[in-house]
Amino acid sequence: MQKQNMTVNKDLQYERSRCTFDPIEITYFFDGSPEKVEQRRKQERYFLDDPQLKQNIPLKCRSHKEVYEESLRTACIVLSKVKELQLSGKAGVELYIHTFGARLGSALFQDGNPLSLHYAMFIPAIMGQGTSEQQEYWLTRAVTGDIIGTYAQVICIGLETTATYDPKTKEFILNSPTLTSYKWWPGGLGHTANHAIVVAQLYTQGECKGVHPFIIQLRDVNTHEPLKGIIIGEIGTKLGMNGTNNGFLGFRNFRIPRENMLMQNSKVLEDGTYIKSVNDKLTYGTMVFVRVMLLQDLLHYLMKAVTIAVRYSVVRRQGQINSEKSEVQIIDYVMQQYKLFPHIATCFAIKVTFTHVWNMYVIVQGQLHEDDFEKLPELHSLTCCLKAVISADTAAGVEQLRLSCGGHGYMNASNLPIIYGLATAVCTYEGENTVLLLQTARYLVKSWKQALNGQPLPESVNYLNEAAKGIKQHPWNNDLECFIEAYDAVASGTIRLATENIDRRIHNGVPSEEAWNQTSIELSDCAVAHCRAFIVKTIVKTIKQSTLGSDEFREVLLQLNELYIVYWILRNYGAFLQFSSMKKEDVQVLQSRLEYLLMKIRRNAVGIVDGFDIDDDILCSALGAYDGNVYERLFQEAMKSPLNNETVNISFKKYLKPFIKSNL
């Protein structure tokens, strides 16, 4: 989607003219400072203005093979430019995150990047799991791009790749005994990487020692042909991310030297003696890091989608409220506001929560390096439920925003289907959401039992202490304090009930793990309720402490936060009636409050999404461009379809004409 010299749509102009605050305040809020805004914009333009990175044929019009080739071309150009900037001292490592991430990266690549795992997983894994000699040897080669790597995790526990140590030759022999033991999914594995870190079941001296990482050459560095004993290919098309070149990998008696096992933690000596790692909690740190970073990706997906849908809803006119007046901007329908504005509020909630958890991570990471693991379980349990809840909210949000654009949201030219494809993937990768929620639930049940025993608890579960003492919520009075108390009451109430149900089942003779399984629907609700309470407390605390910005800007922030809080009570008000001091009569009060907030936010909606400051070339949407020339842009995008290069397609002669003739 290229910038054009079109005049701005009048309805959008009007919205901008009556915004009550300066949108740049929003931009500062999300980027952190005016300097950071400047730097981000400059970096974005450095890539977006490069004519080599412009796509004239939409990627979605191309074949799967062409998509891969085009994505690899883009990746090589982007990385060369990253290097250039880094060598000139104008950027650091964070530029990788920026060019691979959900904001700029997903615009440059459109549908995935075949080189991202090399930087996001391969290099970090060598740094985290290699000895200093291994790091020296492999990192030099990997950082220069001399070798291109990927990272092949385990998928199953039972049947998987084996690495059997042969002390005679001092080699590991890799095998994939069955199809289910093939690696399946790693990005770039299909045709791009020539090396991989493979997590395999280690066997030595006749014993299985569990999974360990090995670095393995897959392809000849010069010819790129797969080595003998390596079975490799790509896994086919997917809902999205078709440029990532996800691959499969099997081994037939493939030998690697002993030194290729990454031995920072556990080791295998020359004679085959296995030495166990002292501490494997460090790997938790990496998982936590990845999940925190995903929150930022999700934020950008949602910001893009909401920008598109809000602008389109201002430009699009359809139907009448009053039959004597002209057609209505669809944003004036309260149902449309209800579909749009809670997601604006969610963007702010994600941003604030991300910053808070990132700060926690930095502290915990520092403690880990001093062998202090005390805060890790709390942070781990928080990042599990946050990743699950925020990815589910974002995916559902993007989809509701897409549907709010009617038929036009179904077109790839809106970019909404593509954003959805990327966002929904996050629900599954880096820990499937249900699995993550149940991990958090395990922590919550444990914490609840500790609370019952009067033990002190970490801050994020401190509310369980109050609940365990039997302290009930104050009577309902519809202020923020009351809402926060209610969120806590719902969380502690669901946790209490689920714990009682597990215990009841155990008491009735059900084995404890099966009792857990039988209670898992409620347990998953516990984790969601806890997560929602955490987000609500975090946003309220942050706004209270913050002194940034003008009064007008702070008013908007307060409205959005209150919308988030009220919206999620009403979406789940059964639990609030069940566990908090909220009464039936309060439902209507909250409903009116919701409608009032939608009405207040209506005026500033365009200003707020403008403040997200997403460049048209990053938004890639005919519906959402800054100038609001929706129909011109839809038409221009349609004309890029190769089908429109000719008035008559070959299939007329080949199929349709003979078919018509046969009927005559």
Q: Is 190 in the site for a second copy (CB under 8 A)?
A: yes
Selected binder of a second copy within 412, 473, 492, 561 (CB under 8 A): 412
Answer positive or negative: Cα dihedral of 331, 335, 337, 340. negative
Q: Is 157 in the site for a second copy (CB under 8 A)?
A: yes
Q: Is 145 in the site for a second copy (CB under 8 A)?
A: yes
Cβ proximity to a second copy, 226 vs 229, nearer residue: 226
Q: CB-side exposure of 333: number of CA atoms within 13 Å?
A: 18
Selected binder of a second copy within 120, 202, 314, 413 (CB under 8 A): 413
Query: Are the C-beta atoms of residues 447 and 456 closer than 8 Å to each other?
Result: no
CB of 86 to a second copy, least distance (A): 12
The interface with a second copy within residues 566-585 (CB under 8 A) comprises 572-578, 584
Cβ proximity to a second copy, 328 vs 457, nearer residue: 328
Q: Is 50 in the site for a second copy (CB under 8 A)?
A: no
Selected binder of a second copy within 22, 31, 69, 503 (CB under 8 A): 69
Q: Is 236 in the site for a second copy (CB under 8 A)?
A: yes
Query: Are the C-beta atoms of residues 547 and 534 closer than 8 Å to each other?
Result: no
Q: Is 68 in the site for a second copy (CB under 8 A)?
A: yes
φ and ψ of 445, to 5 deg: -65, -40
The interface with a second copy within residues 309-328 (CB under 8 A) comprises 317-323, 326-327
Cβ proximity to a second copy, 316 vs 351, nearer residue: 316
Selected binder of a second copy within 82, 379, 438, 608 (CB under 8 A): 438
CB of 325 to a second copy, least distance (A): 9
Selected binder of a second copy within 1, 108, 148, 310 (CB under 8 A): 148
Selected binder of a second copy within 32, 34, 177, 658 (CB under 8 A): 658
Cβ proximity to a second copy, 182 vs 476, nearer residue: 182
Catalytic residue among 259, 430, 555, 595: 430
Burial category of 555 from C-beta neighbours within 10 Å (exposed 0-12, middle 13-18, buried 19 and up)? middle
Query: Are the C-beta atoms of residues 496 and 467 closer than 8 Å to each other?
Result: yes
CB of 573 to a second copy, least distance (A): 4
Reduced to 3 states, what is the DSSP secondary structure of residue 166?
A: strand
CB of 346 to a second copy, least distance (A): 18
The interface with a second copy within residues 593-612 (CB under 8 A) comprises 594-595
CB of 402 to a second copy, least distance (A): 8
Cβ proximity to a second copy, 351 vs 402, nearer residue: 402
Site size toward a second copy, by CB under 8 A: 137
Selected binder of a second copy within 137, 333, 358, 373 (CB under 8 A): 333
- Residue carrying the six token digits 């926690």: 360
User: Helices in 508-583 by DSSP H: which ranges?
Assistant: 512-518, 520-545, 551-570, 573-579
**Cα 102–Cα 413–Cα 99 angle in degrees, nearest 5:** 20
CA–CA dist 331, 626 (Å, integer): 16
Query: What is the per-residue DSSP string for 316-351?
Result: -B-S-SSTTS-PPBGGGSHHHHHHHHHHHHHHHHHH
- 187 labelled as ligand-binding? yes
Q: Does the annotation count 430 as an active-site position?
A: yes
Interaction pattern, residues 505-534, with a second copy; x per rule: CB under 8 A:
------x-xx-xxxxxxx-x----------
Cβ proximity to a second copy, 175 vs 412, nearer residue: 412
248-251 contact pairs (CB < 8 A, 24+): 248/182, 248/183, 248/184, 248/185, 248/189, 248/190, 249/152, 249/176, 249/182, 249/183, 249/186, 249/189, 249/196, 249/198, 249/218, 250/176, 250/179, 250/181, 250/182, 250/183, 251/161, 251/174, 251/175, 251/176
φ and ψ of 234, to 5 deg: -110, 160
Active site residues: 430
